[in-house]
Structures are given as C-alpha cells and as structure tokens.
Amino acid sequence: MKLRTKRIALVLAVIVLLTLPTAVRRVEEYLYPCKYPDVVAAYASAYDLDPLLIYTFIRTESGFDPMAESEVGARGLMQMTEDTFEWIKTKIAPEEDLTFEDLYDPDCAVRFGAYYLRLCLGRYGGDVATAAAAYHSGWGTVDSLLNHEDYQGDGKTLPSFPYSRMNHYVEKILQGYERYTELYGSSI
C-alpha cells in the first residue's frame, strides 16, 4: 500500500509540474490582459505605437474599465481630462460631433489616448519613461523639470522623476510594459 501511495503521489507531482507553467501563464494573462484587441491594433497602427504599450497605459490608467473616472475627472480607458480631450479633438476630430462623454466609449478613449501618447513620445525623443511622466503630469511639468539644472539630462528625457506620484506612475508603466513584452513578445 505504501508503494502504491508513493506512486500516486509521484504521478500527481509530475502532473502538477507539467501543468504549472500553463496555469501560471493563464494567471499572468489574466493580470496583464489584452482587451479591446481590434481597437488597440487599429490605433497602434494609425499612430505607429507598440500595442503592448497601449495595453500598458490602459491597464495602469483604468484597469480596462471603460467607465473609469478619476478624482480629477479624467475618464475612460486611457483617463483623459476634458481640457486634454478638447485640445486633441481640435487636432484629430475637429469636424466630428464628439463630446467628453464619448471617452466612455473604448474606441474614442483609445483613439484619443493613443494619439496623445504618440505626441508625448515624439516630444520626448521616444523615451517611454519621460513620455509616461508627461502623460501623467502634463507637458508643462515635464518641460519645467527639463529646464531645471538637476533634471536636464540630455534636454529631452528626464534622468529621474522627483515627485513621488510621478515616479510611482513611471515605474508602474515601465514594469507593466516589461511584463507585457515578456508575456506577449511580438505575438500581438
């Protein structure tokens, strides 16, 4: 009986070891989802962005909740304020009958958020960390830091992030993007 129990335990251990990587992968995909794939793919292509970076921002900003609203009134998947929405609307949708309410629609939220992310990356030399700081805290804050002697660096990217909320946000973006890249690589 002891030998049989040991064999059963060994077989169960082998089964667990063989299925564990798949289970871990499923948990990681649950924690780092790729929701709204058609919308993300369309605007990643339109604005020449890595879709994994868009997923990272959506996960960080709203946790993929299209109805998300922050304490400062930012809305939608990519958490945009009304002022930023109105400014971007003049750039990409001046003739469209869109309102701030439309940011609750995933297509509109990703369209506007991805466009803004592209602008941030372009403004700050493609540096994801500095673009994330600008997406979170605004161009004025980042530009002001770049003009400060302690943070000038190369004049386009911040070597560090002095405000705790900004620093925390940038770290979340960088870690999330790294994890998305490890999980999905170029498969998206």
Tokens matching residue 81: 């304020």
Where are the alpha helices (H) located in 32-127, listed in sequence order?
37-46, 51-62, 82-92, 106-123
Rounded to the nearest 5 percent, the helix, strand and coil shares of the chain are 65, 0, 30
Place of tokens 């509109």: 108
Task: Determine the number of helices (DSSP H) and then strands (DSSP E) in the chain.
Answer: 8, 0
How far is residue 81's CA from residue 91's CA, in Å, rounded to a whole number? 16
Tokens matching residue 103: 């940011």
Chain centroid to Cα 167, Å, comes to 15
CA dihedral for 113, 117, 120, 122, sign (positive or negative): negative
Of the candidates 28, 61, 69, 149, the residue annotated as catalytic is 61
Judge whether 61 counts as a catalytic residue.
Answer: yes
Active site amino acids: 61
